[in-house]
Amino acid sequence: MTTLTPPMTRRIALITTLLVLALPAAAGAQGGAFGPLPQGDPAETPTPTVQTSTVEDGSTDKTILFIVGGALILGFGFMGWYIMRDARGAAREPEYAGPRLRDDGPHKHKMQAKAKARKKTHAQKAARKAHRKR
């Protein structure tokens, strides 16, 4: 859990407990939460100053929007191309009827046991047929 010695752990726990208990006492001196609010100083309202501004026709804003939109389209296109290229390079080739057949895998024992059971059943059936009356 910790690499501190037990006395050090106890000291840290004691200090943090005292700090936690001392903080609410200091916060209580601020007053109640539902007490009356202090009155603020009335501030003088500044007189409005007239500023001269140039009137824009809005053509610059559209141009910037088209540039940003084009950059986003190119950026997302590049990211998609890069991700696809990386994914194709990391993907393995699928095995279409590869060298490993079902007989070679973990089912080999089951298949041998089934074949043995079929052979035994066939021998029993042949023995019953041999001893029938005709």
Which pTM value belongs to this model?
0.29
- Cα gap 90→83, rounded to integer Å: 11
pLDDT value of residue 122: 94
CA 3 to chain centre: 33
DSSP characters over 68-117: HHHHHHHHHHHHHHHHHHHHHHHSPPP-SS-S--GGGSTTHHHHHHHHHH
What pLDDT is recorded for position 48? Answer: 76
For position 117, what pLDDT does the model report? Answer: 93
Q: Phi and psi dihedrals of 100, rounded to 5?
A: -90, 120
- Dig out the tokens for 14 from the structure: 């004691």
Q: 5-34: per-residue pLDDT in tens?
A: 777 788 888 888 888 887 766 565 566 667
Contacts of 78 (CB under 8 A, 6+ apart): none
55's tokens:
């009137």
Q: What is the pLDDT of residue 69?
A: 94
Give pLDDT tens digits along the chain (134 positions): 567 677 778 888 888 888 888 776 656 556 666 777 777 777 777 777 877 766 666 556 888 889 999 999 999 999 999 988 888 777 777 666 566 665 666 666 777 888 899 999 999 999 888 888 76
| Residue type at position 64 | I
C-alpha torsion angle, residues 13, 16, 18, 23 (rounded to 10):
-160
DSSP assignment letter at 54: P
For position 43, what pLDDT does the model report?
76
What pLDDT is recorded for position 100?
61
What pLDDT does residue 119 have?
Answer: 95
